[in-house]
Amino acid sequence: MKKNKILFSLIFFLLSILLIFSLAFSFNNFQKNNSKLNGEAISNPNSGSKNLIVHYIDVGQGDSELIQIPGNINILIDGGTKNSSKKVVSYIKSLGIEKLNIVISTHPHADHIGGLISVINSFKVDNVIDAGINHTSTTFKEYLKAVKAKNINYLTPSPGESFDLGTNVKLIVYGPYNRYKSDLNNSSVVVKLIYGSTSFLFEGDAESKEESQLISGGLDLSATVLKVGHHGSKTSSTLKFLKKINPKISVISVGKGNSYGHPAKITIDNLLSLGSSVYRTDTTGDIIIESDGSNVNVTRGSPYIPDSSSTTTIGSDETATTQVSSGSFVGSKKSDVYHYPDCSSAKKIKPENLITFNSVEEAKNAGYRPCKKCNPPG
């Protein structure tokens, strides 16, 4: 009997070690086919529309873009929040789509990946492209669990990697250059889709820091259509960056009457100063843009026309950059606390460690807690 107890204890101990080892490496084990799409995922039969169609789905304060490529190839970039998952799933099904060749999760924030959980559980998905950052939120864990359960090919490609998706169609990864666990927005997956002589750039929630890295990366940033970064926040869309893109059309995915003040006036002004037509999901709902490889055409949605008295002229890149650098709350890369900018503790943060948050939600999603001295909300 004593020997049996010893044997049972030994087996239990070994199983416990195996379980801990499995959990510790579960995220890293996803890095399995890092630069190769599922071989059966991409095909290009000579059927269907010859136009490439991009749907900017109105998911409120969040992001979700569906791309239909000639040859029945479908890509979804982000899925909004969990609350918007029903709309995203219904929208995709209404188009007769049964399979998503690629799902792109730009970063782990809930307003981008929340809806992807239902999407992954509702459709056949061949490949997931992800920022490759392990996050502690419940939403992220549920998303990762769904990817694992479906045994989906999981990729974290590097800037410059590209994928051929049929005749004259290419997907190029532009970012992230760095993966910051405490700065998820500036770790966003940024991709450019090229069809013939037209192109679409999707910026995720990239802010001025990642925009600077994209400029320094040396890739061709020019694009016909831009999905504006971070819902039009003032922490994104520096004039220097936008000049590199020079988009004819800019789309801002943003919630009506949101509490963050998105989109910022400086962002709208920067885009209009370049002659870009601005479309917003909060003012026009779902937006659809089609390309025949030579020209783009907005088939759903109306351009945003601001009050002429509210528009200002941006005098220089330096002015725009100064305005973009501010934020509602600040924190340090060396701590997990966020403050009001005028907090005495915030003023002690070294410039190289300073990070900004545009909202309480953004700070908390990054793993930060409120300062007990200046008592910001949250």
pLDDT of residue 46: 44
Q: What is the pLDDT of residues 119-173, one digit of tens each?
A: 999 999 999 999 999 899 999 999 999 999 999 999 999 999 999 998 899 999 9
What are the C-alpha distances in Å from 67 to residues 73, 84, 226?
Answer: 8, 18, 14
Confidence band for 350, pLDDT divided at 50, 70 and 90: confident
| Domain chopping of the chain, boundaries | 31-319, 327-370
Q: What is the pLDDT of residue 95?
A: 97
Note the pTM of the prediction, 2 decimals.
0.75
Q: Which fold has domain 31-319?
A: Metallo-beta-lactamase; Chain A (3.60.15)
> Beta partners for 154?
128
**CA-closest candidate to residue 69, choices 57, 84, 55:** 55
As a whole number of angstroms, the distance between CA 46 and CA 166 comes to 10
Retrieve residue 145's tokens.
């669990």
pLDDT tens column, 93-108: 999 999 999 999 999 9
